[in-house]
Amino acid sequence: MGKKKNYDSEFCGSLPLNHINVIQSYGYLIILDKQSLDILQLSENVADLLEKPVQELINKPFSDHADVEALKKLQQRFNENISNKVPLAISVKGTKMQSLVHFKDEYLILELEKWDQSSERSFTNVFEEVKYAIAAIEQAGDIETVSRIAVQELRKLTGFDGIMMYRFDSDWNGTVIAEDKVQGQGLENYLGHTFPASDIPKQARQLYLKNTYRLIPDRDFEPVRLYPVINPKTNAFIDLSDCNLRGVAAVHLEYLKNMNVCASMSIRVTHNGELWGLIACHHLTPLYLSFELCGVCELLSSVVSNKITSILYKQDFELKAGLQKQQTALIAQVYAKNDLLDGLLNDSECNLMEVFNAGGVVAIQDGMPHVIGDVPDNAFLENFVLWLQNKNIEKLFVTDELPAEYDEALPYSRIASGVLAIPVDGEQGDFIMCFRPEVVQTIKWGGDPNQAINFEPDRKNYHPRNSFKLWQQTVHNTAVAWNRHELEIAENMRSFIYEYTTKGRQIN
């Protein structure tokens, strides 16, 4: 048993993940002066690439080691008109390398990876599969189908042992809605399981708005430090928010270890410019994805996001249109009957209970309840009206957890766990109240969410939970939440009722 709890972590969410100041070891990071292209800062493994100590490379022209003509042309082409990272092939010490160039106000950031010879043919090999995956996603008619196709096709393309897709709820918990994996090799099945918001805290979620994906080829990598530690242009740690190579917080590496995962990749799914969900890819051994294959994942992220957005827009439009149609019919019925209460609370299919998908509706007028459906008894209603009056409700009062806000509602949770109250004349105690019944929820957590963060005695160091085994929670005393279109209709009805009752007509 239990009630809803917010598992988002303010502590984890406040950690400056973008200033972690180390990178993963599968690539190289070089920061250049925007004008001179002199080296300002670099990852210490660049010493191996350029065959010189990092101390001797600082403030020296990058052109001494690389063909920078393509970089100069790229800079001239985009000038100040781009904020995203741009891919660029570049030759460094005679070695063909792939890079991402970040254009910043005072400097350039180069993320470098050695050219994967096999990757030149890899795109050709996967091109037909990519086309099929895009076509299949585009033809899907619902979110479940899109999600299932996405994880299946991504696993074919990338070779990860397991891929799952989960969507965030309003509290940022993520529920797995699709999964595809090799069975019997050590990865748990998580379909239908929910992971607490603290697993991907606020800071990490914000970074996914800057990075389409997050690749960790090997959780046991040796972090590579930057030299010098402080960026000479900003006199601070460099902001690595949008760098794919950015190092990984120790607690997340421990999290992967506890999941029996050695390599991982997370791919964002967005809706209306916000993070809607993630596609999580897991492998039992180290797994590096080529530059091109990461680009394919980036492409499919956009395709999936656009398709889900299209489906959500369609669902949203249909819901709004249906509610508006019901509202119009309800208002017409009031005028046809020339009686507000009879128009709103009659026994036909067109009444407030149907419009708001409620279990019962009561209109209090001059202390008298007028009821349709299941509502609490008169004693409760009298006290509840007094409680609402003390809150000075001017527009709407709405909740899907009434017993959590009003103790006296607990015995009535079966029929009144949610309420939408519309004041007709709050000072006189005239309200229309729509009640929703309790919907008992069983949440299948991926491990005990109360153990998601475990502090050491010093209260400074902490660890993620050790187990991701099923941990079930039954949530009582909550109702189906009121959606924004229902609230809009409720506000419209409040305005209509006010106008109707102030035009000389009586409420009864």
Cβ neighbour number for residue 424 with a 10 Å cutoff: 19
E strand or H helix that includes residue 269:
strand 263-271
Helix (H, G, I), strand (E, B) or coil at 152: helix
Rounded mean pLDDT, 341-345: 88
Q: Please give the pLDDT value at position 172.
A: 93
In contact, 45 and 224? CB cutoff 8 Å: yes
Q: Please give the pLDDT value at position 429.
A: 87
For residue 2, pLDDT over 80 is answered with: no
Q: Where are the domains of the chain?
A: 10-20+117-225+234-313, 25-113, 338-440+477-501
Helix (H, G, I), strand (E, B) or coil at 502: coil
- Judge if 10-20+117-225+234-313 and 338-440+477-501 fold alike in CATH terms: yes
Q: Peptide bond before 228: cis, by omega within 30 degrees of 0?
A: yes
Q: Please give the pLDDT value at position 5.
A: 63
For residue 441, pLDDT over 80 is answered with: no
For residue 508, pLDDT over 50 is answered with: no
**104/110 Cα distance (integer angstroms):** 11
In contact, 444 and 193? CB cutoff 8 Å: yes
In contact, 472 and 440? CB cutoff 8 Å: no
- CA 328-334-340 angle, to 5 degrees, is 130
**Residue located via tokens 């979110």:** 143
User: What share of the chain has pLDDT > 90, as a percent?
Assistant: 59
Closest to 296 measured CA to CA, from 177, 173, 122, 448 = 122
In contact, 253 and 131? CB cutoff 8 Å: no
pLDDT tier, 366 (very low <50, low <70, confident <90, very high otherwise): confident
Q: What is the mean pLDDT of the chain?
A: 87
Give how far Cα 285 sits from Cα of 22, 220, 249, 264, 290, Å: 23, 10, 20, 10, 16
Q: Please give the pLDDT value at position 71.
A: 83
Q: Please give the pLDDT value at position 203.
A: 87
- CA 301-129-259 angle, to 5 degrees, is 55
374 CB contacts (<8 Å, ≥6 apart)?
359, 360, 415, 435, 437
Helix (H, G, I), strand (E, B) or coil at 263: strand
E strand or H helix that includes residue 276:
strand 274-283
In contact, 413 and 438? CB cutoff 8 Å: yes
For residue 186, pLDDT over 90 is answered with: no
Q: What is the pLDDT of residues 447-479, one digit of tens each?
A: 666 665 555 565 555 555 555 666 676 778 899
Tell whether domain 10-20+117-225+234-313 is in CATH 3.10.310.10.
Answer: no
For residue 444, pLDDT over 90 is answered with: no
Q: Please give the pLDDT value at position 394.
A: 82
| pTM for the full predicted model | 0.84
Closest to 420 measured CA to CA, from 477, 357, 368, 366 = 357
279 CB contacts (<8 Å, ≥6 apart)?
150, 151, 154, 163, 164, 165, 266, 267, 268, 269, 301, 304
> What topology does CATH give the domain 25-113?
Beta-Lactamase (3.30.450)
Q: What is the pLDDT of residues 146-183, one digit of tens each?
A: 999 999 999 999 999 999 999 999 899 999 999 999 87
E strand or H helix that includes residue 432:
strand 430-436
User: What share of the chain has pLDDT > 70, as a percent?
Assistant: 86
**417/400 Cα distance (integer angstroms):** 6
Token reading at 121: 């043919």
Question: In terms of C-beta density within 10 A (0-12 exposed, 13-18 middle, 19 or more buried), how is residue 456 classed?
Answer: exposed
The number of helix segments (H) and strand segments (E) in the chain equals 15, 22
Phi, psi of 50 (to 5 degrees): -100, 0
For residue 493, pLDDT over 80 is answered with: yes
**256/464 Cα distance (integer angstroms):** 10
pLDDT tier, 114 (very low <50, low <70, confident <90, very high otherwise): confident
Q: Please give the pLDDT value at position 490.
A: 95
Rounded mean pLDDT, 289-316: 94
Q: Are strands 441-446 and 470-475 parallel, antiparallel or unpaired?
A: antiparallel
- CA 310-244-93 angle, to 5 degrees, is 135
For residue 40, pLDDT over 80 is answered with: yes
Specify which of 73-77, 196-200, 443-447, 500-504 reaches the highest per-range mean pLDDT: 196-200
Q: What is the pLDDT of residues 234-283, one digit of tens each?
A: 898 999 988 999 999 888 898 899 888 999 999 999 999 999 999 999 99
Q: Please give the pLDDT value at position 450.
A: 65
Q: Please give the pLDDT value at position 1.
A: 39
For residue 33, pLDDT over 80 is answered with: yes
Give me the sign of the Cα torsion angle 181, 27, 23, 202: negative
**107/40 Cα distance (integer angstroms):** 8
The CATH number given to 338-440+477-501 is 3.30.450.270
